[in-house]
Amino acid sequence: MSEPRIVVDHLWKRFRRGERQDSLRDLVPALFRRLTPGRKEPELGANDFWAIRDVGFEVQEGEALGIIGPNGAGKSTMLKLLNRILRPTSGTIRLHGKVSALIEVAAGFHPDLTGRENIFLQGAIIGMRRAEIARKLDSIIDFAGVERFIDTPVKRYSTGMSARLGFAVAAHLDPDILLIDEVLSVGDMAFQEKCIARMKQFKASGVSIIFVSHNMQAVSDLCDHALSLRSTVQHYGSAQDVIQSYVTAMGSEGGTLGHPDVNIGPVVLRNAEGRDVTTATSGERLQLEVTYTARRDLTGVHFGLLLHRTTDGLLVYDANFTDKELGIRQWRSGEPVTIRFDLTATVTRGQYHFDTHVAETGTGVLLARRNPAMLLRVDELRTWAGIANLAVTASARTTERVASAVRV
């Protein structure tokens, strides 16, 4: 394999918390303070913090890397470092080829200029030649779908329209490396699909992509690898694995109770042959076994089982099973109960996780919760998107003539 397009090596970025002196009036006393001896600032002052700590990764030609992480994890800082807007405190980034960014696609627009004038302006700002823009003008206008308003000032455009125009300009870039930051949050569904399709097209033509997003579904759709960031690299590997571990980590923070009355675990997922699995094909029969241990005597409780789609948090399934119907009469403190949930994975391709809890039936008070309790990846080749596996089989009734034509 040739040298990677992007090499990030031991990257550190320090930021300062709080107010800076940003007027001359404040500067003079600040200078005096600095001149007084014995008040020198250390390497990482009390008000400094590391936004990026020792981050390293590589991206090959035609590869897409997703960067995920909670708010304030340094994702945007990382993009700004890659885009030369910020300079690293230490460490290096090597970029091979022309870098373009799909960040704030309409930032260069001026409200008083027309759509056409803004195309030339924004194009120049993101690094296109005038002649290149002129050549691609029709295609840009067509992509944005604003033909009728192209000579109208952009201030009369709706938010969606100007975002579409901005993306259309950016979509006609010819980069080697593309940095993308949450551009998908603008525009309607149809336009978002158009954006994703364009990004996949970029990737297929060998462009290396770095994609920052909170939309796990989009990351897993577009990216081969992912990096979960929290100032430092938490996980770095295949997109599926990283998203999985990221969601697991998120869940363990907010998904359990402080002092549960029931201990949940161990949890086992088996396929029809009785083997432990985390991956299943769509429509496969599975067995989820969860052991619950009471910490005090309990009656009148129910056990909840939920399934979430990990990538976007969609609740796929939610059901409760009471102790009565499970035949549990007297659940004494310290006694384990193992419940076997037999189920069919009638969901489409994607990343899912189970979530289970125990609650008092009458009051609904939550006694214990474990989320994620178990991860499940469903592989399937037929469906493209969607949630439920409808177990569709397709057949055609045709005349002999049509059938033969199809064969050709």
Question: Least CB distance from residue 368 to another protein, whole Å?
Answer: 46
Rounded Cα distance, 125 and 138, in Å: 19
Nearer CB in complex with another protein: 17/401: 17
Count of residues touching another protein (by CB under 8 A): 46
Nearer CB in complex with another protein: 159/398: 159
Q: Does 340 bind another protein (CB under 8 A)?
A: no
Q: In this chain, which of 56, 62, 70, 108 binds another protein, going by CB under 8 A?
A: 108
Q: Which residue carries 């990026």 as its tokens? A: 52
Q: In this chain, which of 25, 148, 259, 397 binds another protein, going by CB under 8 A?
A: 25
Q: In this chain, which of 44, 107, 319, 387 binds another protein, going by CB under 8 A?
A: 107
Query: Do residues 292 and 368 lie in contact, with contact meaning Cβ atoms separated by under 8 Å?
Result: yes
What SS3 state is found at 39? coil
Structure tokens at 55: 């981050």
The partner residues of 337 in beta bridges, in order of sequence, read 292
Q: Which stretch binds another protein (CB under 8 A): 117-125, 138-146, 276-284, 360-368?
A: 117-125
Q: In this chain, which of 48, 54, 117, 241 binds another protein, going by CB under 8 A?
A: 117
Nearer CB in complex with another protein: 86/267: 86
Q: Does 124 bind another protein (CB under 8 A)?
A: yes
**Which run of H or E residues covers position 119?**
helix 115-125
Q: Which of 330, 328, 351 is nearest to 339 (CA)?
A: 328
Give the contact letters, 77-96, x = binds to another protein (CB under 8 A), - = no: ---xxxxxxxxx-xxxxxxx
Rounded Cα distance, 278 and 266, in Å: 15
Q: What long-range pairs does 113-117 form, CB within 8 A, spacing at least 24?
A: 113/153, 113/154, 114/150, 114/151, 114/152, 114/153, 114/154, 115/141, 115/146, 115/149, 115/150, 115/151, 115/152, 115/154, 115/157, 115/165, 116/141, 116/150, 116/151
Nearer CB in complex with another protein: 7/267: 7
What SS3 state is found at 401? helix
Q: Does 127 bind another protein (CB under 8 A)?
A: yes
Using CB under 8 A, which residues numbered 172 to 211 contact another protein? 176
Binding site for another protein (CB under 8 A): 11, 15, 20, 22-25, 27, 80-88, 90-99, 101, 103-104, 107-108, 110, 112-113, 117, 120-121, 124-130, 176
